[in-house]
Structure 1
Amino acid sequence: MSSRSQTGFNERRVIFSSFKASLLALGTISLFTHSPTYATSIPESPLPIRLIINNWTSQIVMTEILGKIYHDKGYTVEYKELASKDQWAHLHRGLAHIQVEVWQGTMSEDLARTSALGQVIEAGDHDALTREEWWYPSYVEERCPGLPDWQALKKCAVLFSDSSTSPKGRYVAGPWEKPERARIRALEMDFVVKPVKVADDLWIELNKAYTEKAPIVLFNWSPNWIEDRFDGEFVEFPEYDPKCETDPTWGVNSTRLYDCGNPKNGWLKKVTWVQTEQEWPCAHAILNDMNFDNAMISQIAAYVDADGMTHTQAADKWISDNTALISTWGAETCSK
């Protein structure tokens, strides 16, 4: 090798060594200055945010809305389809991170139990007030006078029977775990619980009965698209009290629990894994600010269940119609 070539080689080696040292220095600075507590860049962490998908329309659409907002911010989003009973263990272990629609009537006990372990926290309430209860079409009142009082329903039980329950009435329940059988026993009602496999089957049953003006009593909730498309009423059971679930001597049956209806004007919450705020501060702030009222939830559900959109199409439409509102969610944290 000539002296000129040797000189060039040595210069290149020095330059490369300096470049390598600079990279190491930058890496060291990055290592020690990065803190997931501050939203200095988005996404703050490359880890995927796992959003829980349950099996009813408004929850699915709302989850997709949040997922699309996160995706637009640069986050990696994964969806995990979980039954409502299974989601709590996943949240507790950090295997799933966010649930956008937690209902008081069906999930309050699981939320309280899981929150006590310290790995799941609330991320604010929606403005929507909820109710989950037995429901019937208004035309049934002509054949069962006294409705919506539960004692009138009790007297008319045979009116709701079919070949699988006769002479007892059929109550069409949702696919979620609820103490319906305990309530029937406590109130001594001649009804048999017949759950559907998926939530949409409730509306198939309702539509069939509605078309034929046949008596039906089924699980329903508010907010829900049904209230905009069908005329009906919730059954009025004895007023809910927490003692109904813990003290057998409380209520109309002194020997059994669950001798009451579900809570009225219940809360609707968002919950998250405890580390979400530290891992993805901007995403956590967006979740905190995300807020739906009854009309908004009924609307997104109606896009699918009444108008035939897919969940994704419904999410896209809602986002397109509400860009100004969405821009306010997490704005302060996400701009840091």
Structure 2
Amino acid sequence: MQIYQVSLPASHNSRYHLYPGTARAWLNRLRLVFGAALAFLMIFIGVQPSPVQASVPESPVPLRLILNDWTSQLVMTRILGEVYQTHGYKVEYKLVSTKDQWARLHRGLEHIQVEVWEGTMAHDLEKIKVHGQVIEAGDHSAKTREEWWYPEYAEELCPGLPDWTALRDCAALFASPDTAPRGRYVAGPWEKPERARIRALDMDFVLTPAKTADDLWIELARASEIKQPIVLFNWSPNWVENRYRGKFIEFPSYAPECETDPAWGINPRRLYDCGNPKDGWLKKIAWHKMSVTWPCAYAILQDMDFTNAMISEVAAFVDADGLTDEEAAEKWLGENRAIWQSWGKNSCD
């Protein structure tokens, strides 16, 4: 075997000598060379090195969460914020209308919206997604619905319910002194084509809108106390289903043509001769840079998942039991530790 001698730079006394610093430098160079060669070999044979886990929180910038003006969204946002704080994140809350939230998410002024409804927000969400600044972080298991609703005891007087034709035939049972002999439908404070539906389906009802969502529940409580038939706007998930037994009216099934083509449906002369969509989605959305700025926080948002029953429960803590949004969030967190501690577990540990 032939041995090759490597000549090293001479020192000031012309002797071949390695100072400790020089030796360390050569060792570091060898480590770099062998490390690069090993990485290349691993990639060549298909073995990927393990990713380096970033520390949490990944950024000192606060996570800014949108608060809307209905109970379940407020409580669920507080729940997520508290979970983030247990991971060391700074959290800020911003009360924003559903109309204004899209531009703020688009610009990164706010980062998260935990409860986006298909029935009222699908159009705006699709418009803003075109610009690529807002991303979907997954759907909740909950399915949404917005429709006419009645307490179950009304079926004793109108046995054909929840079919819409039974409601039409029983209209006088739902009358009030102001509407008799026509029935009274208590609509929500939001603009919806309810009057067009009444005309298209020849419903003998007068629409009386509530000024606020709370006014709906006042009407429901008053009627339920004396078992008076009432039909009103309701939605699911909502606290009402946690505390009252009732059902949605089953109108003719919805199709997009119901809103655009008078010839479609049972009334060939009018639009809106159908009910609202059923089984709508409930999404979580985020600013598009969230997944790279706070990957752990984004994973937590993705794993956050509420069912109809869970959402109705947290809303009932406020609307039925009188807790504040913050108190309701704390109550839920205390009773469901195993659930929220699992959010982001595979990405944040």
What TM-score, normalized by structure 2, do the two folds share?
A: 0.77
Q: Counterpart of 1:200?
A: 214
Contact kept, 8 Å, 2:242 with 2:313, in 1: the verdict is no
Distance in 2 between the 1:327 and 1:61 partners? 17
Counterpart selection for 2:195 from 175, 178, 181: 181
Q: Which residue in 1 is equivalent to 2:48?
A: none
Structure 2 residue 124 is the aligned partner of structure 1 residue 86: no
Q: Quick check: 1:39–1:281 contact (8 Å CA) kept in 2?
A: no
Match of 1:97 in 2: 111
Q: 1:278 to 1:197 in 2, by over 3 A?
A: farther
Aligned residues: CA RMSD: 2.3
Is the contact made by 1:126 and 1:269 (CA closer than 8 Å) also made in structure 2? yes
Q: Secondary structure at the match of 1:299?
A: helix
Query: What's the counterpart of residue 126 of structure 1?
Result: 140
Match of 2:231 in 1: 217
User: Is the alpha carbon distance of 1:251 and 1:144 closer, same or farther for their aligned partners in structure 2, counting shifts above 3 Å?
Assistant: same
Structure 1 residue 247, shift from structure 2 partner? 3.0
Counting matched residue pairs gives 298
Instruction: Note the residue ranges of structure 2 that are not aligned, 5 or more in a row.
Output: 1-51
Kept in 2, the 8 Å contact 1:130–1:221? The answer is yes
- Structure 1 residues 153, 317: closer, same or farther in 2, change over 3 A? same
- In structure 2, the residue corresponding to 1:257 is in which secondary structure? coil
Looking at both structures, which has the greater relative contact order when contacts are Cα pairs under 8 Å and sequence separation is at least 6?
1
Verify the 8 A CA contact 1:106 1:177 in the aligned structure 2: no
CA contact 2:102–2:128 (8 Å) conserved in 1: yes
Amino acid at match of 2:173: L
1:162 corresponding residue in structure 2: 176
1:170 counterpart SS class: strand
Deviation at 1:165, TM superposition (A): 4.4
d(CA) in 2 for partners of 1:190, 1:177: 20
Match of 1:227 in 2: 241
The equivalent residue for 1:249 is 263
Structure 2 equivalent of residue 147 of structure 1: 161
TM-score of the superposed pair, with normalisation by structure 1:
0.80
Where does residue 130 of structure 2 map in the other structure?
116
Larger Rg: 2
Q: Give the direction of change, closer, same or farther, for the CA distance of 1:39–1:318 in structure 2 (3 Å limit).
A: farther
> What residue is the counterpart of 2:285 in the other structure?
271
| Secondary structure at the counterpart of residue 221 of structure 1 | strand
Cα-to-partner distance string for 1:269-309 (whole Å, 9 max, x where unaligned)? 11122222233222111100101112221221222223232
Q: What percentage of residue pairs aligned between the two structures are identical?
A: 65
Gap change, CA 1:308 and 1:165, over 3 Å in 2: same
Correspondence for 1:309: 323
> Which structure shows the higher helix fraction?
1
1:107-128 C-alpha deviation (Å, 9 max, x unpaired): 2222223223322221101112
SS in 2 for 1:183: helix
Whichever residue aligns with residue 218 of structure 1, its letter is L
